[in-house]
Amino acid sequence: MGARCRLCGGEASYHLDHAGMSLCSECFTRYYERKVYKTIRKHGMLRGARRVAAAVSGGKDSVALIGVLHKLMQERFREVELVAIYVDLGIPGYSEECRRIVEKVCGDLGLELHVLDLREAEGYGVPDFANTPFRRRMCGACGTVKRYHTNRMAYELGADRLATGHNLDDVVEILFELYLKGAVEEIVRMRPVSWSDHPKLVTRIKPLIELTDRENLFYVLAQGLPLLEARCPLVGESRMLRRKKLIKEIEGAIPGFRHTFYKTHLKRFLPRLEKTVEEPRLAECEVCGMPSLGRVCSYCKLVSKLRKAGARSPRPRA
Ligand SMILES: [Zn+2]
Ligand SMILES: [Zn+2]
């Protein structure tokens, strides 16, 4: 006989390791949606929001994100509009699969989807970074590309929030590295909400920050949402993956490690560190006009390396 649901006694489908409980599909769905709702409320993520752009990659976290946001906005945040944005990174054999999933989910949910095809719009794809000094940091370069374009798309669509699918495992993995390095300026940026007062920088929210990898996977399965099978061929044996494995091992030895680490960061360290670190002043990039810490933004610097390697320059901004 299989395990029983802790809440209703029915047949359990999902086991939540960190909570030491099994739940059936319906009880899990309620638990998950309530948790996301509470995270949103607790941090005021949608306070005063009118239009949320959700960045979808096709991976399970972002698919869970639009699934749950769509539902919550129908039931609880009726005044907020949801649109999906997707950046096609031009990775052969992978980006097509991601795009197919994103189009399917948005089609099924009746969501407005905006796609930026990097090769069409900018004349390059992420694999082209293999010919630049970034070849050893492909995931970092890709992250810069995605951060830049999701923000720009959200801004151009008139969104006042940009939601991303970062989950607890992602955040703990990044925090782990930052605390080891003592990167205080970066640590204070690891927040559930990054409020922006720059008109071209959209406030970023992480509604899934308290949900684990597995919980997002379970939600996708429980909702019958499509699941991406492909893995990015560029990731390889990255440090990021090695750290994720290490954190799984720690969690095995210290159950609840991720939740405790995150909570300690949020409640104990963040409020103190925020007082010591000055918010950087944002200027506008001389090349593209988008927000930047220096004269030229990190995205334009990245693309200028590509241009040297033979790709087309980015399109000028209106
Ligand atoms: Zn149940
Ligand atoms: Zn720029």
Over the stretch 83-103, which tens digit does the pLDDT of each residue have? 999 999 999 999 999 999 999
% pLDDT > 70, the chain: 96
Ligand in nearest proximity to the CA of 314:
2
287 Cα–ligand 2 center, Å: 5
Cβ atoms of residues 98 and 57 within 8 Å = yes
d(CA 235, CA 233): 6
106 Cα–ligand 1 center, Å: 28
CA 283 to chain centre: 25
27 Cα–ligand 1 center, Å: 4
d(CA 266, CA 258): 12
300 Cα–ligand 1 center, Å: 51
CA separation, residue 250 to residues 156, 174, 256, 264 (Å):
42, 15, 9, 16
Structure tokens at 203: 């406030």
Parallel/antiparallel/unpaired status of strands 283-284 and 51-55: unpaired
Structure tokens at 72: 């919550």
Ligand in nearest proximity to the CA of 21:
1
Ligand in nearest proximity to the CA of 12:
1
Domains and CATH numbers, the chain: 35-279 (3.40.50.620)
Ligand in nearest proximity to the CA of 301:
2
Q: Is the pLDDT of residue 51 over 90?
A: yes
9 Cα–ligand 2 center, Å: 56
Ligand in nearest proximity to the CA of 299:
2
Q: Is the pLDDT of residue 50 over 60?
A: yes
Ligand in nearest proximity to the CA of 6:
1
Helix (H) / strand (E) element for 259: namely: helix 257-264
List, for residues 5-29, the tens digit of each pLDDT value: 999 999 999 999 888 899 999 999 9
Parallel/antiparallel/unpaired status of strands 283-284 and 291-292: antiparallel
Give ∠ CA 26-23-3 in degrees, rounded to 5: 125
Protein residues within 5 Å, CB atom, of ion ligand 1: 5, 7-8, 10, 24, 27
141 Cα–ligand 1 center, Å: 43
Ligand in nearest proximity to the CA of 24:
1
240 Cα–ligand 2 center, Å: 27
CA 279 to chain centre: 22
List, for residues 193-245, the tens digit of each pLDDT value: 999 999 999 999 999 999 999 999 999 999 999 999 888 888 866 677 788 88
Cβ atoms of residues 85 and 153 within 8 Å = yes
Give ∠ CA 239-267-277 in degrees, rounded to 5: 70
Ligand in nearest proximity to the CA of 5:
1
Protein residues within 5 Å, CB atom, of ion ligand 2: 285, 287-288, 297, 300
% pLDDT > 90, the chain: 82
